[in-house]
Amino acid sequence: MMEKIVKSDNLQLWTESIGNKQDIPCLLISGAGAPAKFWSDNFCRQLVEADYFVIRYDHRDQGLSDAVDWDTNPYTVKDLADDAIQILNAYEIKKAHVVGHSMGGRIAQLLAIYYADRLFSFTSMSVATAGKIGLPPKEVMDILLENKPIQDFAKDLPSFMRSWKILNGDYEVDEEMAKQYTQDFYIRSKHPVGVAWNHIRCQEDFNDLRKQLKNNTVPGLFIHGEKDPLIPVQGAKDTAQATANSKLIIIPGMGHMFFNRKLESQIANFLLAHFKKIH
């Protein structure tokens, strides 16, 4: 594993590469408020062992990347997509597989639209950009909103675990996996632990992408959990149906997150099968 600081839009972004740079590149993009290590070491290792060069990174306003003053420098999801391109440039990568989860899936879709020549493929997970999404059920939001970190990992952890449980669908939460992910917010970050408001704000005016995706030329894969409590599975169906040159995989019992080793490995296998159709 090798760390590299990449400059984009006058910001310093923390990135990490794993594997052999001579292998086929794969860029992993986390969701809103999620650090690079949303993509666990085990997940990355599975891709590396299949001869892929993996890069994960912290978005601006997350982890070890720079913070942004929203009032003076607001940004868009397209700006986050441009960050991803600057990362590929910094690693001297002409073309890569791109995989995004939640907001990262929106970024992956924008990359397919605006930077098709830089992508071997794109994968969009646990997000929808077509159809009516709507708000999550009240009982889900009540549990998520109960989580109000006080910057103390031990005291905050129980609330995080309740959130992860409801977001994990029918799959049992791997507690060690979820704890390690949560602890990353505290030990590998220069930002207060809490709601990533800037990531939320940048998505408020995000438009339906159906018109752009109908002309998609990049091999696309949509992965969605049947039991996703945040983004109803119908949204994924609508988006995949609107996207040319794409495939949809719905995983029974999966929620929005995947804190489960068996499920994590299954998702990695879906990605590898998608990649291997291209090479």
| CATH number of the domain enclosing 255 | 3.40.50.1820
In a domain, 152, yes or no: no
Residue 142: pLDDT band with limits 50, 70, 90: confident
Kindly state whether residue 266 falls inside one of the protein's structural domains. yes
Burial track 238-252 (b if 16+ CB lie within 10 A, e otherwise): bbbebbeebebbebe
Domain membership of residue 100 (yes or no) is yes
Mean pLDDT of the chain: 96
What is the Cα–Cα distance from 73 to 77, expressed in whole angstroms? 13
Q: Does any domain span residue 180?
A: no
The amino acid occupying position 56 is R
Q: What are the tens digits of pLDDT across the range 146-192?
A: 899 999 999 999 999 999 999 999 999 999 999 999 999 999 999 99
Predicted pLDDT at 268 = 98
Q: Is the pLDDT of residue 224 over 80?
A: yes
Q: How far apart are alpha carbons 74 and 276 in whole angstroms? A: 39
Domain that holds residue 58: 2-134+195-276
Interval 47-79: pLDDT, tens: 999 999 999 999 999 999 999 999 999 999 999
Give the confidence band of 134 by pLDDT, cuts at 50, 70, 90: low
Q: In a 3-state reduction of DSSP, which class is residue 175?
A: helix
Cα separation of 81 and 203, whole Å?
Answer: 12
Model confidence band, residue 257 (pLDDT cutoffs 50, 70, 90): very high
Counting residues of the chain whose pLDDT is more than 90, the rounded percentage is: 91
Distances (CA, A) of 83 to 37, 60, 86, 127, 221: 17, 9, 5, 20, 22
Domain for residue 114, yes or no? yes
178, part of any domain: no
Q: In the chain, how many domains are there? A: 1
Alpha helices in the chain (DSSP H): 41-48, 77-90, 103-114, 138-145, 153-167, 175-187, 197-201, 210-213, 233-242, 261-276
The answer to whether residue 222 sits within a structural domain is: yes
Instruction: Retrieve residue 212's tokens.
Output: 């752009």
Please indicate, yes or no, if residue 153 is contained in any of the structural domains. Answer: no
Alpha helices in 2-68, H assignment, sequence order: 41-48
The predicted structure's pLDDT at residue 33: 96
What integer pLDDT is reported at residue 165 of this predicted model? 96
Q: How far apart are CA 183 and CA 35, in angstroms?
A: 11
